[in-house]
Structure 1
Amino acid sequence: MITDPVGPDAVPALIDAAREHGDGNIHTVAAAVLDEHDRIHVGLNLYHFTGGPCAELVALATARTAGAQAPRLIVAVGDEGRGVLAPCGRDRQVLADYYPTISVVVPTPDRPQVVGAEELLPHTYRWQAQQVQRLRFRASHLPAVRDGSKRATLRLDDPVQVGPALLVFEPARTDTAGDLNAGDVDDEVTLAGRITSTTAKTVAEISDEEAREDGFADAASVLPGLRNYYPHLSSDDYVVLVRFDVDES
């Protein structure tokens, strides 16, 4: 069990926010998410006999729509005075897969308590373990990766983790004359490798040294450079510095 992970008022505030919603008909459960900026995002379930979305998943999607990238706490509350509800099996698997560090409010005979997502689903199935993850690059990066001068990459919304990986270099794009762009290849190339570390931080927090690891001149070059890949990226957005090695063969 986690004790007081985000402050003494967080859990009551989330419960109060969730209880304000729901109509007793098709919306019978409300969930609230506390994000990394201490904002609360509320979602409702949508009951349907075919299996509508749970309130927790709606709240997580609502939080992401508002720009949240690191949800910290989630709680679901039922109508008719049912109080705090524990996540269903599907929600537990989703939390374990995508939000393994999130805290979850659960009911107990005495009072609601806060636990870690992985405590809800011990010995959980890990789909990631059933396949080798892929880290994709533009083909123009292949020479630098091959000669060892590039061993890091900055990523947005690329859910990789430490462990074995295939480094995939995508086929070249052609210019308006139909010629291959410089440094590109015309067939997909894969290299066996391993992701050695992942570090999340905002673009504004990237240091000059970290910027140079990914081939940028300095930290000031990161935002305009990454916008070639992520046009709507802002300095407040979180990116992940992924460091990797290439297997010798």
Structure 2
Amino acid sequence: MTTMNWANDDAVIDAATRLAATLGDDANHTVAAAAMDLSGNIHAAVNNHHFTGGPCAELVVLGLAAAAQAGPLATMVAVGDGGRGVIAPCGRCRQVILDQHPDCCVLVPDNGSVVSVPVAQLLPYTYRFPDGTAERFVRFNGRYYDDIVTGRKTQTVRYLDPVPLGPTTFVFEDGEHRGFKTMLGIIDSVTPIHLTDLDDDYQAGLRSHYPRMPRDAKLDDVRFHI
């Protein structure tokens, strides 16, 4: 599983945690969720449990974000009431997020910490809705912004992090401000390679992004331009 930490994760967790803390003894509302869109806005809501199948908090957030015309969501998290902390989304929520926001990262608990995982990794071998028209984006660490905008960097190597071919939006986390910088870009090619195809220095750099990457990892060599 690919896990990464992003500068905006804490703000999203904080929004969901503060909302969860307001929930009382009503058994119909026990989970809060929050999501950040590419403009840096946070959308938060709670679940509405009912025996007929009331929606989870994550699905309520998707509707709330759609009503606000938020566009693609970058990060999603759910937090349980009563101090339960971050909880993982159910299977239905994972499928809906994947179909509607395929490039979203989901924050999940992992051995006492919270990690950010691309939603596609939460549903391996998943069914993908064939008529889905979700707006796609590719996420970059903010430190690469200057090199990409000037054309000095035209390659990235990804591990278990699908990248769409063709025109898309490049998204950079702004380490100094909440939210993201964005620019239009084009993914020219995605070529399968192996970690062992790369030199030792490149491998070491990748491990700073993907600390759990195995030695025999299969990667994608992505070429792009703006």
Match of residue 199, structure 1, among 168, 179, 184: 168
Q: Name the counterpart of 2:11.
A: 10
TM-score by length of 1: 0.50
Percent of residue pairs bearing the same amino acid type? 41
Q: 1:8 to 1:71 in 2, by over 3 A?
A: closer
Q: 1:100 to 1:77 in 2, by over 3 A?
A: same
Match of residue 33, structure 1, among 25, 32, 35: 35
TM-score by length of 2: 0.55
Q: Name the counterpart of 1:169.
A: none
Report the 3-state secondary structure (helix = DSSP H, G, I; strand = E; otherwise coil) of the residue aligned with 2:107: strand
Q: 1:111 to 1:199 in 2, by over 3 A?
A: closer
Match of residue 52, structure 1, among 54, 65, 80: 54
Report the 3-state secondary structure (helix = DSSP H, G, I; strand = E; otherwise coil) of the residue aligned with 2:95: helix
Amino acid at match of 1:107: P
Q: Name the counterpart of 1:107.
A: 109
Amino acid at match of 1:71: L
Within the alignment, does 1:117 sit opposite 2:119 as a pair?
yes
Which fold has the larger relative contact order, with Cα–Cα distance below 8 Å and residues 6 or more apart in sequence? 2
Report the 3-state secondary structure (helix = DSSP H, G, I; strand = E; otherwise coil) of the residue aligned with 1:72: strand
Amino acid at match of 1:199: T
CA contact (8 A) 1:17 1:42 kept: no
Amino acid at match of 2:126: T
Larger-gyration structure (1/2): 1
- Post-superposition Cα deviations, 1:69-88, rounded to whole Å, max 9, x if no partner, equal 01111111111222111000
Alignment size in residue pairs: 142
Amino acid at match of 2:39: H
| Whole-Å separation in 1 of the counterparts to 2:40 and 2:52 | 35
1:224-239 residue pairs with structure 2 within 5 A? none
- Structure 1, unpaired ranges of 5+: 135-157, 162-195, 207-249
CA contact (8 A) 2:17 2:85 kept: no
| Whole-Å separation in 1 of the counterparts to 2:106 and 2:19 | 14
* 4+ residue segments displaced more than 6 Å: none
Within the alignment, does 1:87 sit opposite 2:89 as a pair?
yes
Q: Which has more strand, going by share of residues?
A: 2
| Whole-Å separation in 1 of the counterparts to 2:105 and 2:33 | 13
Deviation at 1:10, TM superposition (A): 3.1
- Post-superposition Cα deviations, 1:190-237, rounded to whole Å, max 9, x if no partner, equal xxxxxx844359xxx89xxxxxxxxxxxxxxxxxxxxxxxxxxxxxxx
Amino acid at match of 1:19: A
- Structure 2, unpaired ranges of 5+: 137-164, 171-182, 185-226
Report the 3-state secondary structure (helix = DSSP H, G, I; strand = E; otherwise coil) of the residue aligned with 1:42: strand
| Whole-Å separation in 1 of the counterparts to 2:78 and 2:20 | 9
CA contact (8 A) 2:12 2:34 kept: no
Deviation at 1:102, TM superposition (A): 0.4
Report the 3-state secondary structure (helix = DSSP H, G, I; strand = E; otherwise coil) of the residue aligned with 1:63: helix
- Post-superposition Cα deviations, 1:21-66, rounded to whole Å, max 9, x if no partner, equal 4333211111011111111111111110111011001011111212
